[in-house]
Structure 1
Amino acid sequence: MVKRSVPQKDPASSIAVPPELGASSVAVRVTPGAGRTRVGGRYEGPHGPALIVAVGAPAVDGKATEAVRRALADALGVRAAAVELKVGATSRDKVFTVRGAGVAERLAVLRDGPPA
């Protein structure tokens, strides 16, 4: 008999999340109005060590937050729909929930550099 994994409901949303694709919290420090989009570097923020994300969008009407969400998804190799803002809608220090396999490893490389 073959065991089948049943998707579990994520309590934070109504989206079914397969068990092998857990969610990770990602603390982010945003630099809006930058000359170009960049993802990488470390900032000791109020939510712990944060990934620095610079975007060209202005910090007006959530434009920078949306640009960060898309840049973060691209850098972590997941769909934009897999990245959801959890904390900090109007702050430079934000926390996103990212669903996908291998996110924690890619995040560590972007934030802390390659392993020694």
Structure 2
Amino acid sequence: MSARIPVKLTPKSSKDAIEGWGVDPDGRPVLKVRVRAQPVDGAANAALEAVLARALGVPRRDVNLARGNQSRLKMVEVTGLSDSEVRERLSAG
């Protein structure tokens, strides 16, 4: 079982934070996340994975970037949780 989370990442922020759900330019839901890391050598992507793992209460190894390595719009896969469990855990936080 795994869930896929569409994410809009903002690097070089003043803090690591999940800002909640928004929409992308095509009207699809995306999770807005900010990280302090700069988008250099995968640092922002690694920070994104760590922020999501902490928020979801899963090991860091269970959160992986599936698509969007060099884009602000990304798809993250979470192993061990369903889509509904992910939404519930993110809404509770």
TM-score (norm 2): 0.84
When the two chains are superposed, the root-mean-square deviation of aligned CA atoms in Å is 2.0
Q: Give the C-alpha shift of residue 104 in structure 1.
A: 2.8
Alignment pair present for 1:61 and 2:41: yes
Structure-2 change in CA distance of 1:54 and 1:67 (3 Å): same
Higher-helix-fraction structure: 2
* Corresponding residue of 1:84: 64
- Specify the structure having the higher radius of gyration (Cα): 1
User: Stretches of 4+ moved more than 3 A in 1?
Assistant: none
Deviations 1:27-52 (A, max 9, x none): 11101011111013122125931111
TM-score, normalised by the number of residues in structure 1: 0.69
Structure 2 unaligned blocks of 5 or more: none
Larger relative contact order (C-alpha < 8 A, sep ≥ 6)? 2
Structure 1 unaligned residues grouped into runs of 5+ = 1-21
What residue is the counterpart of 2:32 in the other structure?
52
Q: Say how many residue pairs are matched.
A: 91
